[in-house]
Structure 1
Amino acid sequence: MRSIQILSLPLAMLALSACGTGEPATSESKIINGTLAPDGGVIEQSTVALVSSNGQVFCTGTLIHKNFVVSAGHCLSNFGGTLYIGFGRSSSEFQYVKAADYEVSPGYTGSFNKAVPSDISVIELSSAAPAGYKPVAIYKGTVAQGSSLALAGFGQTQSGGSGRLYYTSVGVTSKTSNEITVYKGGTGSCYGDSGGPAYVTSGSSLQVIGATSRGQAGCGGSSVYTNVAYHLNWLRGWTGVSL
């Protein structure tokens, strides 16, 4: 796993994914002390797994349109295999849709020492999401410090298991126009949860506000999320849909 130092933050941080060329290594992701996503709930309907051709779940993404998924840039910047998107709460029950194409943000440099890391990617599905799975809207508002967000991702938990969708709630500790930092002691995202959503409640619905970028070494501290709406013009231009 490749570590990346963040000079703008007080502690060294790690990208939350196994990265490299060709097929990715097995994910060590975990939503620490999270809860299994409700069967058929909004989180399951819109949170998806990025899966390599050898069946390994290596990142997470969010369905933002029936034909498009948003994830992290570092998940796909060095990916060299065939990409599949897994729909379901567990790898044992996934429905798979092959990716037709994907693009990493042109602003992503692979370095988190820049003012705008642009750690975001978008995936086009070869066919629409399976019946029962619904995209979520991108949240275009702002959140205040202390606001509660729901994080979701696939992978191992502290109690074991892998390839299952868990979620948890955390609070916003700081934000810029392009990134959101979250933290809650004892819970949060970790290695391999990269690209997974941070959801905010807007009215009576959940909307995606962030895509997991990186977190403190050891997964006991803050996590940084790319603000999806900051990249809305690029996403609209690449997908050709209004979002």
Structure 2
Amino acid sequence: MKTIIVVFFGFFLIDVLEVQAYYHDDIGIPTATKIKALEEAIQANGTINIENRIIGGEIAFNSYPFFAGLVISIYGTSNKSICGSSLLSSNRLVTAAHCDHDGSKSAYEFEVVLGSNQMFIGGEHFVTNEIVVHPYYDHQHFTNDIAILYLHQNVVFTSTVKPIRLPNDGELTNTFVGCSAIAVGFGKTSTYQEHARNVLSHVKLQVIDNAECVRFYNFNEVTANTICTSGIGMAGPVGTCNGDSGGPLFVYNNREPVLIGITSFGSKHFGCEAGIPAGYTRVTSFVNFIKQHLY
């Protein structure tokens, strides 16, 4: 029994490191390529695909105006990668640091897509190369996995483009354990899904205690600056998946969305449908860093 536990923990440690080191090659670029091809085919045929793209998720038609897709240009390749992000103000967004550089490949430009349920078609597009990665970001362990994107022009707020609120002073000590949260993204709905989907999706998740999350990962990945969600919902496995990186995890407070997490890591080997928790950058731990770059 002890031997099994040791191997289990060690396997997950390798699992997480692999995701971090090769995000763009293994996940971002292949997902972007499939989504772009699908959207172009849909545009040519004049039809819209409305299938889900987040594990256990539902379609999110203009429901989350703070969500922004990122089409990422990578050094050394003409292929694009993708991530998600959250609009914080008229010219600032927050995303995961590994969307900029994952230890293997680095980005040189971001195309920010706002007000659209699709990544390449529709919405408003803003190009920027200005990103501030947390100074203590560690791509080997997913720690401090947060970055701020600067836009060179202000976006105009509309019903489909609005910022999300950061936790206020009274919420900074809230762990949100037991709360029902929502994740939004362009990731797959199935680990074994062969074809990409093309519509923004969301999923309801339960925030769990970090001690439960550590059972599946490692103390190096799950720190006080990490927030985790359960991989099991009432209808079965739920969670973020390939392509959801950098996107928001949020709760509602008096019907107002509050950003509490940034999609960071999950299980690569066992997949998105194994009922394994997912890890996010805990926003309350980085409010000061965010505010330093907000204005």
Tell me the TM-score normalised to structure 2 length. 0.68
CA RMSD of aligned residues (A): 2.8
Task: Give secondary structure in 2 for the equivalent of 1:93.
Answer: coil
Q: Specify the alignment match of 2:23 in structure 1.
A: 18
Q: Is the 8 A contact 1:32 1:188 kept in 2?
A: yes
- Give the 5 Å matches for 1:1-243: 12-13=15-16, 15=19, 18-19=23-24, 25-27=29-31, 30-39=53-62, 41=63, 43=64, 45-53=65-73, 56=80, 58-77=82-101, 78-87=105-114, 88-91=116-119, 92-112=121-141, 117-132=143-158, 133-140=161-168, 141=171, 142-158=174-190, 160-175=195-210, 177-185=224-232, 186-217=237-268, 218-219=271-272, 220=274, 221-239=276-294, 241=295
Task: Give secondary structure in 1 for the equivalent of 2:107.
Answer: coil
Q: Specify the alignment match of 2:41 in structure 1.
A: none
Task: Give secondary structure in 2 for the equivalent of 1:195.
Answer: coil
Task: Give the paired residue count.
Answer: 227
Q: Is the 8 A contact 1:50 1:84 kept in 2?
A: yes
Q: Structure 1 pair 177/203, CA: closer, same or farther in 2 (3 Å)? A: farther
Q: Structure 1 pair 191/161, CA: closer, same or farther in 2 (3 Å)? A: closer
Q: Specify the alignment match of 1:3 in structure 2.
A: none
Tell me the TM-score normalised to structure 1 length. 0.82
Q: Structure 1 pair 10/55, CA: closer, same or farther in 2 (3 Å)? A: closer
Counterpart Cα distance in 1 of 2:228 and 2:66: 22
Structure exhibiting the larger radius of gyration computed from Cα positions: 2
| 1:81 CA drift (Å) | 3.0
Identical pairs, percent: 24
Counterpart Cα distance in 1 of 2:244 and 2:123: 17
Task: Answer 1 or 2: which has greater strand percent.
Answer: 1
Q: Is the 8 A contact 1:57 1:155 kept in 2?
A: no
Counterpart Cα distance in 2 of 1:161 and 1:213: 21
What do the CA deviations read for 1:119-169 (whole angstroms, capped 9, x no partner)?
Answer: 011101122224421101112421442211100111433375434210000
Aligned-partner residue type, residue 86 of structure 1: V
Q: Is the 8 A contact 1:46 1:135 kept in 2?
A: yes
Task: Answer 1 or 2: which has greater helix percent.
Answer: 2
5+ long unaligned stretches in structure 2 = 1-8, 36-52, 211-222
